[in-house]
Structure 1
């Protein structure tokens, strides 16, 4: 049976976003990708939540779904990534959009993940990067634009953020073909002038702990109730681009930790 299924699917080469296209009976059907040691399968328009031990087991699962009649949702021309498939509807994340303002579909929308996403995007602004899609997690390739020279491509956040608590930018490893290292500091200083301590956007984004707590409570309740559209709407306040992203990220971390301590205290009193 395994040999028959292996003959029915073909694994393509790894794409820029870390996914492997899977062709079943000659038709491009889905993709498989690795995250945190496990493999996942995805068919646009269908939710596949199982984990697999390797890429072939994940691909075989796509064959099973194909046999049951699952076919990929075809995106509009011009919206297709390198695989020719639109994976934005295949996962478990917040409501998919065409901007990077929300988590990518296959990153589970928990409050800790939201906090990490906000902190990562704020740090990218400091380092002269512009994310072009939702935060995928630290160990997944993230499509972004270098604001020093205009290059676009995928980088790993785990590589950009530094190691062992060291947040020092490493301009020598930005990417090939960037501006000379001797010019980077001046360019980053110019970009830093764009940042603000308070939000100046038409849609207000909280930069202080108290209003941030209100937003977190609304998002938390929406996620608990399974109201993903409401969660997405409230998440605008923390995920949309903002010149005060650094202050917002700091307030979010403090609010999240304060909220977590309060919930633990209530739990201890109950028990």
Structure 2
């Protein structure tokens, strides 16, 4: 069966978002992608959470799905992949176009992931980047714009945040054709002047631990009840752009750690 499937599927070239388009019997069948060490097979319009050891097993699974009549209901890459949409409903009003405050569908909607997203976006602001889509996790390509020169492309958050305790972003030259490296400090200093310690926004974001704990508690309750609309409104306090995003991320992390410690204390 594996030999038969290997002949029937073709893995396309890796796209910017990290997915490989797959055709089965010369027809689009979906995509495969890697996340946190596992591989997944995706057929637009159909949900599948199975994990595989490598891209080839994932592609073979697309052959199985194709044989049962499961094919993409929207175009797939190569002719193919539709940009990922948020797991949260769009907000109305002047923030409706700021889609990067949302998580993308492949990332589970959890309080932990929301806090990580707030930390990532706060750090991107410090480094002179603007995210153009939802936080995808540390090891997935993330579409963003360079505020030093206007370049747009995909970067890995794991590279920008540094590794093994080293917070130096990589690569040092940011991206091809950016401004000269020697100009980075002055440009970043100018951008730093935009950041504040207090939230000046009309919609107030949590700036104190008690406020952060209250927000996270409400989100946990909404997620538990399956109330996506309410989750969206409360997640706004975490993911919406704010000049004080650095302080917000810090208090959210402290609130999350406080909750985790309290939970551990209640266990036998």
What TM-score do you get using the length of structure 2 for normalisation?
A: 0.89
The CA deviation at 1:234 is 1.7
Cα shift at 1:17: 1.2
> Which residue of structure 2 aligns with residue 208 of structure 1?
208
Q: Any conservation in 2 of the 1:42–1:87 contact (CA below 8 Å)? A: no
2:22 pairs with 1:22 = yes
Q: Secondary structure at the match of 2:145?
A: strand
Deviation at 1:118, TM superposition (A): 0.9
Structure 1 residues 81 and 210: alpha-carbon distance in aligned structure 2, compared to 1, 3 A threshold = farther
Deviation at 1:156, TM superposition (A): 1.3
Take 2:148 and 2:160, find their aligned partners in 1: how far apart are those partners? 15
SS of residue in 1 equivalent to 2:242: coil
Aligned partner of 2:239 in structure 1 is 239
Q: Please say if residues 89 and 228 of structure 2, whose CA atoms lie closer than 8 Å, have aligned partners that are also in contact.
A: no
Shift of 1:170: 5.9
Q: CA deviation at 1:252?
A: 0.4
User: Shift in Å at residue 51 of structure 1?
Assistant: 0.2
* Range moving further from structure 2, 159-168 or 37-46: 159-168
C-alpha RMSD over aligned residues: 2.2
Say if 1:96 and 1:105, in contact at 8 Å, map to a contact too: no
8 Å CA contact 2:173–2:181 kept in 1: the answer is no
Q: Deviations over 1:57-97 (max 9, x none)?
A: 1112122222223232327xxxx9776222636xxx73365
Classify 1:204/1:68 alpha carbon distance in 2 versus 1 (closer, same or farther; 3 Å). Answer: farther
Does residue 85 (structure 1) correspond to residue 81 (structure 2)? The answer is yes
Contact map agreement 2:159 2:169 (CA 8 A) in 1: no
Q: Residue 166 of structure 1 corresponds to which residue in structure 2?
A: 166
Secondary structure in 2 matching 1:230: helix
Conserved 8 A contact 1:171-1:184: no
- Partner in structure 1 of residue 63 of structure 2: 63
Distance in structure 2 (CA, Å) of the matches to 1:182 and 1:83? 41
1:1-271 matches, within 5 Å, as 1-74=1-74, 84-86=80-82, 88=84, 94-95=87-88, 99-169=99-169, 172-265=172-265, 267-268=266-267, 271=268
In terms of mean alpha carbon deviation, does 137-146 or 217-226 score higher?
A: 217-226
- Where structure 2 has 5 or more consecutive residues not aligned to the other structure, the ranges are 91-96
Change (3 A) 1:263 1:58: same
Pair 136,128 (structure 1): closer, same or farther in 2 beyond 3 Å: same
Residue pair 1:73, 1:86 contacting (<8 A) in 2 also = no
